A and B are shown apart, each in its own frame.
Chain A
Amino acid sequence: MLRLSLGLVTVFAFSVIIFSTFSFLPGDFATEILGQSATKSAVKALRAELGLDKPPVTRYFDWLGNVFQGDFGSSFSGRSKVQGDQGDRSREVVGLIVPRLKNTLFLTGVAAMLAIPLSLILGISAALYRNSYYDRSATGVSLVTVSSPEFFTAYIFILLLATLFPMFPTISTVDEDTTLAERFYRTALPVFTLTLITMGHMMRMTRSAIINILSSEYIEMAKLSGASRYEVIVKHALPNAWAPISQVIAINLAYMLIGSVVVEYVFNYQGIGRLMVGSVYNRDLPVVQACALIFASTYVILNLIADLIGIISNPRLLYPK
């Protein structure tokens, strides 16, 4: 309960930070859209229309009040004719975000399905065959992947799998009509990129968590009572490793979601990350706020889940004395 309320406070604080950072950015939506040659009165009129003339504190609380009622407001951009068939009417932020959020969740979901089991298997086996050539090369390679920035990894994939050996497309544009198989095919490269950048960290942490546990006395005891290698790992080490491992997974899933901002941009994928970058560019505050709020809440929720797993897997917390 305490964790939950702390999580809410975190999300709230985050929204304040985003909001205030925005007020420090030079220019606002009105100056950005009307260009440098705009007359002062035109800018003023547009500001009044959007409510930008009110003091920031008032605007923040207006926005917050609406969010609590499930209303994320309307995009600024929609009111110009740039966004196409919606005509003069501005688009609801929710309507704008939901399909893109789905896309991003698809992307990160697939990447997570690939990255989590792979890194667990690699991490556990590296811990088992500690200091072998296998362990050394696995930890070495993972260090390289952790250290390279995601755009670099993305371009390496493009070079290898799209240019030199053309297997996958470099542009991952999808729309609502794209079939599932087609989706997998088109998103292959961004999925690989996200997998690779998070796998290294997860694998290394799994390895060290297991190694840490393998050196404890109850493992020696288990060996001396005749437990096989498999039994030692699965029955004795893993149940005690879930807490640290789930923490790392949570951090990496959140990192994946945030990493998707860059990756979506590189592969031109219609996800929430790309939407956010575009909206920052346009100073489209309601959209940016909503995106930021989504990122922050995912982060908090993932950590809550990890804590929960930590509690469930630890009888010391589950059954007090």
Chain B
Amino acid sequence: MTSNKSKELLLEMKNIHIDGFSDERWHKILKGVDLTLYRGEILGLIGESGAGKSTMGKAAMGYTQPGCKIIKGEINFNGIDLAKLTEFEKRKIWGTKISYVAQSAAASFNPAHRLMDQTISAANRLKINPTDVLKKDAIKLYESLQLPDAENIGDRYPHQVSGGQLQRIMTAMAMSPRPELIIFDEPTTALDVTTQVEVLSAMRSIVDKFNTAAIYITHDLAVVAQMADRIKVLRYGEEVEEAETRDMLSNPKEEYTKSLWSVRSLIKPEETNQDYILSIKNIDAAYGSSKVLHNVSIDIPKGKTVAIVGESGSGKSTTARVITGLLPQTKGEIIFDGKKLSQKLEQRSKEELRKIQIIFQMPDTAMNPRQTVDEIIGRPIEFYQGIKGKEREAKVIELLKMIELDETFLDRLPSELSGGQKQRICIARALAANPDLIICDEVTSALDQIVQEGILKLLQKLQKELGVTYIFITHDIATVKAISDEIVVMYQGEVVEQGLKSKILNPPYPDYTELLLSSVPEMDPDWLTNLLNKRSS
């Protein structure tokens, strides 16, 4: 990709400082970041949440979100300093010379207008080509992005097409006025891995085709490796390092950059046994009239970790809801510890409830924001074990130590904790019930890579110490490798495969597992190219 790029400067950002206003005061979001981009080049901008990468991407257009302002710095685009332009002048550049592809296509399309009208609206503003020419061109773009029924898909409304299709249509919309620069702001983060591959390849080929320069923002190193010629790593609003993609991957210089890889190197040796703590047999479940689980049977060995993997809509979270009794099954039975569990939550005994605990994906919404850590962890101790007063406090502190925090956290509210700390408190809350089985529903997917690693290590340590069993629900294969003994693959409400990790992750695969595993991006810049070659042959 790097070969035939010109060295003509397109964008030069110098010493960008941006402040943002929140919690009643101004914070520094960017502290003097530089960026250069040549015509036709793709620059990857990576970092964790809060690193300022999205702010940097928008600043490249001279745009700041409401509540943010550019303190100083130059943004030279084609020799014009965007930081000095008025809103009116910038509008002539936005959408036509520089266009933007947002993270959540579903939220970024106006629900009230047809897709075609939105696709050509920016190009229409240029008044160079008449509308029908633009429409024909848009259909061609749809075709080259491999959208189904390219001729007519533009007549639909945003809610009538899938997320992956919307993301491609947004790329067509960005490309329609033939901009010189496209900002991709985490365009595939909200997509499933199998969809992500299609969208990535479509975006890459169209950017190549028109030789458009792009800034590609993401937190996923493997994704950026497929797209970018160069990679810049940001952290806390400052640059960590920048290098050509291949150099960066083979030889990261900074400690921080290396740590971004680390979660992928975490691997657990597998073990299993035939002593099942939980068996669900031939379960069917439905939300209203739409059936979401079809004849699902899973066995969970005691003291081990079973990962349930699948795309969104595969029924993995629903399975968790059935096990906990939040959603009564319509058919089948659940055997826990040798006894049959009632379908409904209300009919289960306190002891049964105690033994199965759940940790949710979003620690922010899973905790009462008005309760202190002491109250959050203390309640299940009191409720399930009837321990009160001093003894209870001792227990809470013991649990805090287990999750590698200390008693200084007792009086804090959830809002005073970081994302990783919140998830730790949620783990402690689950442990407070002294459960036999913990269901972890996407517990790491809202967290940054390094924090993820910490949480996964903690969960493994706790399993060793307490012998607790985990059901680990995730769509992330790296996490699966890191934590599981056995894997269950689900697709459209059915179990595709269940078995030991080594068996599932090695060939031969059933078709769907093959598709799922091969779609997980790897740290090899040629991965996408090779994969597409393989699939087309």
Contact = CB atoms under 8 A, between A and B. Distances in A.
Contact of B121 (A217, A225, A313, A315): A225
Nearest to B94: A226
Contacts of B160: 319, 321
A319 B63 CA distance: 35
A223 interface: yes
B418 interface: no
A221 B65 CA distance: 11
B112 A239 contact: yes
Interface stretch (B99-107, B254-262, B494-502): B99-107
Interface string B146-184: 000000000011011000000000000100000000000
B157 A227 contact: no
Interface in A217-247: 217-218, 220-228, 235-236, 239-240
B159 A217 contact: no
A37 interface: no
A226 B91 contact: yes
A241 B187 CA distance: 28
Contacts of A235: 113
A216 interface: yes
B61 A224 contact: yes
B427 to A, nearest CB: 32
Interface in A269-321: 313-316, 319, 321
B268 interface: no
Interface in B113-167: 113, 121-122, 125, 156-157, 159-160
A5 B94 CA distance: 50
B94 A240 contact: no
8 contacts: A217-B107, A221-B100, A221-B110, A224-B95, A226-B96, A227-B121, A240-B111, A314-B112
A221 B95 CA distance: 9
B92 interface: yes
B65 A226 contact: no
How many chain B residues sit at the interface, stated as a range, is 20 to 34
B91 A240 contact: no
A281 to B, nearest CB: 51
A261 B183 CA distance: 60
Interface in A196-219: 216-218
Contacts of A313: 112
B100 A225 contact: yes
A172 B61 CA distance: 61
A96 B61 CA distance: 69
The 9 tightest CB contacts between A and B, nearest first, are A225-B95, A226-B95, A239-B112, A226-B94, A315-B157, A217-B107, A221-B108, A225-B122, A224-B100
A225 B231 CA distance: 26
B109 interface: yes
Contact of A225 (B99, B112, B113): B99
Nearest to B161: A321
B477 interface: no
Contact of A218 (B91, B93, B110, B156): B110
Given A240-B112, A315-B112, A224 B107 contact: no
Contact of A239 (B63, B107, B109, B113): B113
Contacts of A236: 110, 112
B107 A216 contact: yes
B108 A218 contact: yes
Nearest to A217: B107
Output the residue of A222, A226, A227 with the most chain B CB within 10 A.
A226
A321 B125 CA distance: 30
B111 A220 contact: no
A206 B112 CA distance: 18
A217 B125 contact: no
Contacts of B121: 225, 227
Given A220-B65, A225-B100, A319 B157 contact: yes
Nearest to A238: B112
A321 B102 CA distance: 23
Nearest to A214: B66
Given A226-B92, A227-B121, A217 B108 contact: yes
Given A225-B100, A313-B112, 6 more contacts: A217-B104, A224-B61, A224-B99, A240-B110, A316-B159, A319-B157
A99 to B, nearest CB: 43
Interface residue SS majority, chain A: helix
A226 B173 CA distance: 13
Output the residue of A225, A227, A228 with the most chain B CB within 10 A.
A225
A226 B157 contact: no
A224 B104 CA distance: 15
Nearest to A221: B108
Contacts of B93: 226
A130 to B, nearest CB: 10
Given A222-B110, A236-B110, A321-B160, A217 B102 contact: yes
B157 A223 contact: no
A316 B111 contact: yes
Nearest to B91: A226
A240 B125 CA distance: 22
A174 B122 CA distance: 57
Contacts of A223: 63, 94
Contacts of A319: 156-157, 160
A146 B125 CA distance: 42
A224 B125 CA distance: 13
Contact of B107 (A218, A228, A315): A218
A284 to B, nearest CB: 50
B111 A314 contact: yes
Contacts of B102: 217, 220-221
Contacts of A315: 111-112, 157, 159
A314 B95 CA distance: 26
Interface in B80-96: 91-96
B235 to A, nearest CB: 25
Contacts of A321: 159-160
A151 to B, nearest CB: 42
A97 to B, nearest CB: 42
Given A223-B94, A226-B92, A315-B157, A218 B122 contact: no
A224 B111 CA distance: 17
Contacts of A216: 107
Nearest to B160: A321
B65 to A, nearest CB: 7
B440 to A, nearest CB: 30
Nearest to B110: A218
A314 B112 CA distance: 6
A228 B111 contact: no
A218 B108 CA distance: 4
A164 B387 CA distance: 76
A216 B111 CA distance: 11
A203 B173 CA distance: 35
B72 to A, nearest CB: 23
Nearest to A321: B160
A147 B104 CA distance: 42
Given A220-B65, A221-B102, A226 B111 contact: no
Contacts of A226: 91-96, 122, 125
Interface string B57-75: 0100101010000000000
A314 to B, nearest CB: 7
B159 A218 contact: no
A135 to B, nearest CB: 15
Nearest to B121: A225
A7 B104 CA distance: 39
A319 B107 CA distance: 18
A218 B111 contact: yes
A225 B172 CA distance: 13
A220 B160 CA distance: 22
A223 B125 CA distance: 13
